[in-house]
Structure 1
Amino acid sequence: MAVLAAVAAHFGRDVQRALPKVEGILDDARSAGADLVVLPDAALGGYLSDLGDPDRTDLPEPLALDGPELDRVRRAAGAMVVCIGLAEAVPGEPSLRWNTAVCCSAQRVWGVHRKVHRPLNESRVYAAGDRFTAFDTPVGRIGMLTSYDKTFPEAARALADDGAVVLACLGAWPASTTDRAAHLPQDRQSRLFDLYDLARAAENQVVVVSSNQTGVQGRLRFLGQAKVVGPGGDVLARTGVKGGLAVAHVDVAHEVGRARRRLHHLAERVPAAYARRS
């Protein structure tokens, strides 16, 4: 049995202010018995202030994966496996960053994912990653998706094909900027955020641990709604639009095995039928 925790919280530009906040959240997660904690995308340094026209004078500070900031997170994690988002420098490209997710504990860095899919004008600031790779951890084989990555079924499927039984989805997912709803739960992007979490879990028969930013950064208003979703697409725990911790006790191997016992989506595919014909 593993205790899985998804975080909804606000993180801005100030990395030195974010670090003690991360430590406090990890202390709370440890008190809840968490084995895996998924923090939001851009928890260290914040996300962009505007997707339509990113302000290049207000960008997240690029951090090194072997730098003191991540080292502090790892020490705070202890035995817990922690996924966290940050901006990473791109060698030879001083004007660009990778939007990077790191999975780590005090023991080691278990995996790194650089966001592949970039919405709107995010490409002016972030370089694209080029792969989806799962990796083994003390809580099972994990794959990571960063925010918009989970819009694409192929991304989650690539991780499931690589043996991932848990998808850590790190979000900095904002409300609609063109059709604002008076209440965040009724926002169009709120519906899509939830839909993708449930669909990616059910179609791959895996557990999804989905975090998200809250609050406001520039013109963007973030949705929260962190959650843990079972392999049948059932929500096991969730937060609201404000900060919080969604915690679920899950026997991952048992639940994934049970979901796949009669109907095994990965095994029952018919690839030849999906091939494009001229």
Structure 2
Amino acid sequence: MRSSRIATVAAHFGRDLAFGTTRVATLIEEARRSGAAVLVLPDGTLGGSFADFGRADPEHLAPALDPDGPEVRAVAALAGEMVVCFGYTEAGPRGERYSAAACVSGDGVLGRHRKVYLSAAETLHRQPGRGFAAFDTPAGRIGMLLDYEKAFPEPALGLASDGAEIVACLCAWATGSRAPTLTRDRQARLFDVYDCVRAVENQVVFVCANQAGVLNGTRFLGSAKIVGPDGSTRARTGSRAGLVVAELAVEEEIAAARGVRDHLGERKGTTPSVA
């Protein structure tokens, strides 16, 4: 039985690109020591996430990066033999801005994603991407989601239908504004429910990373986790920063789950399109 060690992270990343790259290097080295083949980092790993609700001036927005620029290349060089997924704000050719994710190894960029499902606040400063597509990596076929996209069934289903074995969900998911504790926080409850439901309904490995800490008054949940194709949580962090690792026989576990009841194979109707 071939198994893979998969790591995910709850961590704070702000606007300082140099500091963020240094933190990425530290987390990659920690994951490497644990024997991980895949590492998933949060939305806004480079330059911080979209947390400036109500602030439209450029001073408070995350820096928009060239998708082939030195910052992305630096993470690829740090990744080496590992497969690393991370988020950033991408600069378009005409000055537009996208919430974006890249999956890299030492060989370069393996896959990309621009966030399609934007919140109302994000539409003030971001453009939507066009679709969802899985891609091949040395660690298997992977698809990526960003944050709010996991609240909808179609994106994860589209990736699973495109052959994704691992769905990496890169988040900057904040707490609710009124709950006195995380155990009573509606956003915390939904965050966990979506991870488990998307895994079990598509019978894939669902790996969620999240921001932790506070950025410009927005408090993030942490709670990164790895969920198996049976919907069970195999590893998770708390609300504070941390890295966790789970070992899964990805192909075998997916085959076992689908051998009992194949959700994709037995599904009726139209499969959501992918890019």
Q: TM class by shorter-chain length?
A: over 0.9
Q: Give distance in 1, aligned partners of 2:165 and 2:235.
A: 18
Q: Give distance in 2, aligned partners of 1:66 and 1:211.
A: 23
Q: Give distance in 2, aligned partners of 1:215 and 1:174.
A: 9
Q: Deviations over 1:68-90 (max 9, x none)?
A: 11111111111000000011112
Which residue, 237, 249, 255 being the options, matches 1:239? 237
Q: Give distance in 2, aligned partners of 1:218 and 1:183.
A: 20
Contact 1:132 1:159 in 2 (8 A): yes
Structure 2 spans left out of the alignment, 5+ residues: 271-275
The residue that corresponds to 1:160 in the other structure is: 160
Determine if the alignment matches structure 1 residue 130 to structure 2 residue 151: no
RMSD between aligned residues: 1.1
Determine if the alignment matches structure 1 residue 198 to structure 2 residue 193: no
Contact 1:54 1:124 in 2 (8 A): no
Q: Give distance in 1, aligned partners of 2:93 and 2:71.
A: 19
The residue that corresponds to 1:42 in the other structure is: 44
The number of residues matched between the two structures is 267
Note closer, same or farther for the CA distance 1:176–1:50 as it changes in structure 2 (3 Å cut).
farther
Note closer, same or farther for the CA distance 1:43–1:185 as it changes in structure 2 (3 Å cut).
farther
* Structure 1 residue ranges (4+ consecutive) displaced by more than 4 angstroms after TM superposition: none
Percentage identity across paired residues of the two chains:
48
Q: Give distance in 1, aligned partners of 2:28 and 2:216.
A: 27
The residue that corresponds to 2:273 in the other structure is: none
| Residue 165 of structure 1: how far off its partner (Å) | 0.9
The residue that corresponds to 1:210 in the other structure is: 208
| Residue 271 of structure 1: how far off its partner (Å) | 1.4
Which residue, 8, 23, 26 being the options, matches 2:25? 23
Determine if the alignment matches structure 1 residue 268 to structure 2 residue 254: no
User: What SS class does the counterpart of residue 99 from structure 1 fall into?
Assistant: strand
| Residue 215 of structure 1: how far off its partner (Å) | 0.7
Q: Give distance in 1, aligned partners of 2:29 and 2:184.
A: 32
| Residue 246 of structure 1: how far off its partner (Å) | 1.7
User: TM-score, normalised to structure 1's length?
Assistant: 0.94
Contact 2:52 2:60 in 1 (8 A): no
Q: Give distance in 2, aligned partners of 1:199 and 1:240.
A: 20
Contact 2:52 2:61 in 1 (8 A): no
Matches within 5 A, 1:1-278: 1-51=3-53, 53-56=54-57, 57-92=59-94, 94=95, 96-177=96-177, 180-271=178-269
Structure 1 spans left out of the alignment, 5+ residues: 273-278
User: TM-score, normalised to structure 2's length?
Assistant: 0.95
User: What SS class does the counterpart of residue 234 from structure 2 fall into?
Assistant: strand
Contact 1:7 1:39 in 2 (8 A): yes
Which amino acid is the alignment partner of residue 90 of structure 1? G
